[in-house]
């Protein structure tokens, strides 16, 4: 089905150029949502959109693609086992600005998605799993969120963090910027920073997020939830350039205050 407006709750994220991963149980509307995303990107934003249509669920089974995908182009996948090769072919031969993939399910497809993201192409995809934690625990899909690795800490670091010496950490940057957990058709939970959300989950905490809900009258409600760290653990801080600039500014401010205090003390002693 093509339902216009079914992706309205994440339209701001789609137009921002962020790569988005949709999660949810079967039948909650993942394919319907990304079909509308294709139309939004292709028609409204006039971008070059290529759909890797594994089972013809997005563009239909006929020779002519369904009008619901707008100006987006479709690449059919003859053999589901060869989907990762079609993904690479799409980015190498068709000059896409956006690639849309329905149901990423194997390690080869995860690696292909990472290759596409590293080439500066916006990705929109769905994957098996109800929530972000399911993706982390799935060995075939964990690479989508940076991959999980076991790390052994020193005694002092483990004591400082309040954790065991052997912990799980994210191995690298996630392929997707944003993750959308489709709780219901009109109620979605959005993780605006996938890397930080994964770090909180691996530390044993509960990641925050933004719950977006569409009411009966068509208005959009947004509820913000903060991350919670496990008892005794240090809160996970996002490693961002903005945060680094803020710390540098604080240090400079403190050093200026110390210089002013020192100059005042010297002037008082001379007096």
**What's the pLDDT tens digit per position in 159-168?**
887 778 888 8
Joined together, the tokens standing for residue 160 give 């400082």
Which pLDDT value is given to residue 156? 85
Q: Are 30 and 185 in contact (CB under 8 A)?
A: no
| Residues whose CB is less than 8 angstroms from the CB of residue 52 and which lie 6 or more positions away in sequence, other chains included | 75, 77, 83, 86, 87, 90, 99, 100, 101, 102
Which pLDDT value is given to residue 248? 33
- Whether residue 61 is predicted with pLDDT greater than 90 in this model: the reply is no
**Which helix (H) or strand (E) covers residue 103, if one does?**
strand 98-104
Which pLDDT value is given to residue 269? 56
- Whether residue 265 is predicted with pLDDT greater than 80 in this model: the reply is no
Straight-line distance from the first to the last Cα atom of the chain, in angstroms, rounded to the nearest whole number: 85
The pTM is what?
Answer: 0.80
* Size of the chain, expressed as the number of residues it contains: 271
Can you tell me the distance from the alpha carbon of 127 to that of 101, in angstroms, rounded to the nearest whole number? 9
Task: List, for residues 210-222, the tens digit of each pLDDT value.
Answer: 999 998 888 889 9
Q: Is the dihedral of CA 23, 24, 25, 31 positive or negative?
A: negative
Can you tell me the distance from the alpha carbon of 120 to that of 127, in angstroms, rounded to the nearest whole number? 21
Task: List, for residues 7-47, the tens digit of each pLDDT value.
Answer: 889 999 999 999 999 999 988 989 889 989 999 999 999 99
SS3 100: strand
Task: List, for residues 82-103, the tens digit of each pLDDT value.
Answer: 899 999 999 999 999 999 998 8
Task: List, for residues 197-243, the tens digit of each pLDDT value.
Answer: 999 999 888 898 899 999 888 888 999 888 776 655 554 544 433 33
Which pLDDT value is given to residue 261? 58
Task: List, for residues 171-193, the tens digit of each pLDDT value.
Answer: 899 999 999 999 998 999 999 99
């Amino acid at each position: 089905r093509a339902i216009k407006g079914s992706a309205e709750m994440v339209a701001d994220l789609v137009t921002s150029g962020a790569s988005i991963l949709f999660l949810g149980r079967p039948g909650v509307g993942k394919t319907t949502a990304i079909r509308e995303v294709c139309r939004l990107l292709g028609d409204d934003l006039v971008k070059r959109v290529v759909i890797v249509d594994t089972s013809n669920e997005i563009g239909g089974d006929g020779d002519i693609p369904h009008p619901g995908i707008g100006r987006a182009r479709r690449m059919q996948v003859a053999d589901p086992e060869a989907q990762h090769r079609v993904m690479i072919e799409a980015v190498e031969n068709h000059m896409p600005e956006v690639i849309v993939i329905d149901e990423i399910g194997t390690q080869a497809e995860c690696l292909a998605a990472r290759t596409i993201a590293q080439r500066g192409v916006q990705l929109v995809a769905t994957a098996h799993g109800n929530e972000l934690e399911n993706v982390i625990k799935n060995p075939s899909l964990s690479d989508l969120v940076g991959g999980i690795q076991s790390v052994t800490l020193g005694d002092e670091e483990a004591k400082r963090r309040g954790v065991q010496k052997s912990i799980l950490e994210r191995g690298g940057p996630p392929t997707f910027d944003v993750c959308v957990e489709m709780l219901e058709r009109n109620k979605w939970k959005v993780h605006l920073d996938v890397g930080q959300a994964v770090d909180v989950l691996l530390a044993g905490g509960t990641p925050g997020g933004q719950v977006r809900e569409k009411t009966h009258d068509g208005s959009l409600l947004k509820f913000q939830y903060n991350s919670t760290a496990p008892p005794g653990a240090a809160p996970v801080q996002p490693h961002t350039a903005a945060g680094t600039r803020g710390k540098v500014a604080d240090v400079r401010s403190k050093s200026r205050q110390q210089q002013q205090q020192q100059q005042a003390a010297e002037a008082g002693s001379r007096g």
